[in-house]
Structure 1
């Protein structure tokens, strides 16, 4: 093999994408010592997105103290400055599920800190903000982020307040004229790896509310609140989010950023692949190794494995997916350009046990794949064919 690209997502709760790249690289070099390896650890909008961008294209991480998921409780968050014009913001850094462990309350949590990060980056000179919408503990339709950026929300008595997931129906008026001037000139791109609408059976509350601690009754309340918030946005801003695929990402943050900041929604992996110039990088590759924690029918909506495969397919480059687990409905990935799928869970054991041995199982799986590859493409064969 002349050139091998390693471009996995993290295995959440187990290994970071950078760790996976290193294990994969060691295995490739064991079997193909002269191979050129291009390691591109990625994320599709959730935790690790900032680090993935910084590793792939360079830049610096900026630490900022902002409000966490609960108003008045600060956290040390961060954003990535890729260059003078571009900043990457990971909503999970200030409003992610790990920050509310044991205190899940999606009716009270806020994205206020996300707006603070956006404003901080804009005041530092950024004019393109990339916001990763994944891993949220919130369901506030991005109203917290909007309030932090200066947008006013008023109740029926004319009192200004900051809505949360349980109080969106109190919004009687939205005043967007007070948006911070630094953000008016910014282009906002939302990295989104799901296509769920804002509300309804596949909406933010119904699908993701339970993992944020919502009971069935609370899920119904949150869904009603998102409907009310959407109605207020149509009334005051003229933006209808009801049928927008992906608007429900991160508890409606994606939809809110569209309505309040004019943001565009893109598949997270496509944003990353553009940033690292993947189409050019893959053009002369011999093979691509990618992966994610679990591949199933949801992966077909555009998560890392399928996003990578779609870009590699027109160039005829084989894509091997090495994943933590395989679920129902994954077979459609083959139609998208995936050549083969392998699970590292060789013993078919529960996740609690598998995660302890994930690193060694990944190494063993890569070794098995590459041993087989050497039967098809011995070391030096590709080079000899080219030379001859």
Structure 2
């Protein structure tokens, strides 16, 4: 029995690797001789750094509300990986209620990219996601100074959304603490930013898919010469997920909250698409499952063990839920 285990993080409880290890325990119990390949997944949001090798550096940069923060990132020879959430994350701002959606800045992300370039990185992979700001990338571009525009292939931006630049506030503003009036103010500012980036770099990003990630930061970086790609597809390719699935009998994936959006650009959705294309049986083990995502082979941890246990003992809860899912699969 060859089993590939490729979950995303269970946000707030387990990293992708921790979730995978819990699932692996259940697989070993079910099939002691199973050949298991663990591939932690991510889609460009927080958890991307871990999936692409983990941090080996920490530096002080500007946080989302202007206060200094220590941000983890990775430099391996001439390749770097950073996460926007590490410098400008909503969690660093204190969450939705404590955030200042107008003042929140992407400057720290620009500082991380600058640190990577100045350290000799010839390629910087920047994950978008979990951000506090909707500043159109202005803070990041200010921090980068004369390092922009980028040379082709120098910066690759990973996103998990196809939202366009000028829709960033309408789609994500509320979860960053913006009310209806603030969303309109932010949208107007994004329109102004887009005009300025087009005049400065010669690229109009207003309606380009994926440019609304991280409050428009992905669009600003695209205008400045970065490449913007599907984050889950990039992580899967680097991790060798497609190759691992060839000849596999089963793939397990999952995340903290599984819903219809999980199938559109998120890590588990990409795993499921690759499994379907390769004819590999797939099982989803998720913390909670929305009604619009219920299907055969999709198991909710909260429904198996109860919501309290799912949060208090997340690894054990995932193991138990995985065992329940595997019990439904024939030998």
Category of TM-score, reference length = shorter chain: over 0.9
CA RMSD for the aligned pairs? 2.1
2:45 match = 46
Relative to the length of structure 2, the TM-score reads: 0.93
Any conservation in 2 of the 1:88–1:129 contact (CA below 8 Å)? yes
Q: Choose which of 130, 154, 161 in structure 2 pairs with 1:194.
A: 161
- Where does 1:183-222 land on structure 2 (aligned, <5 Å)? 184=151, 187-199=154-166, 203-222=167-186
Cα distance in 2, alignment partners of residues 246 and 185 from structure 1: 18
1:27 match = 26
- Where does 1:237-256 land on structure 2 (aligned, <5 Å)? 237-256=201-220
Structure 1: tracts of 5 or more residues without a match: 151-177, 378-388
17-26 vs 311-320, which deviates more? 311-320
* 1:84 counterpart = 2:102: no
Q: Choose which of 301, 311, 321 in structure 2 pairs with 1:365.
A: 321
Cα distance in 2, alignment partners of residues 365 and 352 from structure 1: 14
Q: 1:352 to 1:368 in 2, by over 3 A?
A: closer
Structure 2: tracts of 5 or more residues without a match: none
Higher gyration radius (CA): 1
Cα distance in 1, alignment partners of residues 267 and 304 from structure 2: 25
357-366 vs 222-231, which deviates more? 357-366
Q: 1:328 to 1:246 in 2, by over 3 A?
A: farther
* 1:147 counterpart = 2:142: yes
Q: Deviations over 1:291-325 (max 9, x none)?
A: 11222221222211111122222321111111122
Q: Deviations over 1:239-267 (max 9, x none)?
A: 1112211211110011111012x122211
Q: Deviations over 1:64-100 (max 9, x none)?
A: 11111133x211112112x323211100000001111
Q: 1:210 to 1:180 in 2, by over 3 A?
A: closer
Matched residue of 1:100: which SS? coil
Relative to the length of structure 1, the TM-score reads: 0.80
- Report the alpha carbon displacement of residue 116 of structure 1 after superposing the two structures with TM: 1.1
Q: How many residues align?
A: 329
Q: Which has the higher contact order (CA 8 A, sep 6+)?
A: 2
- Where does 1:173-184 land on structure 2 (aligned, <5 Å)? 178-179=146-147, 184=151
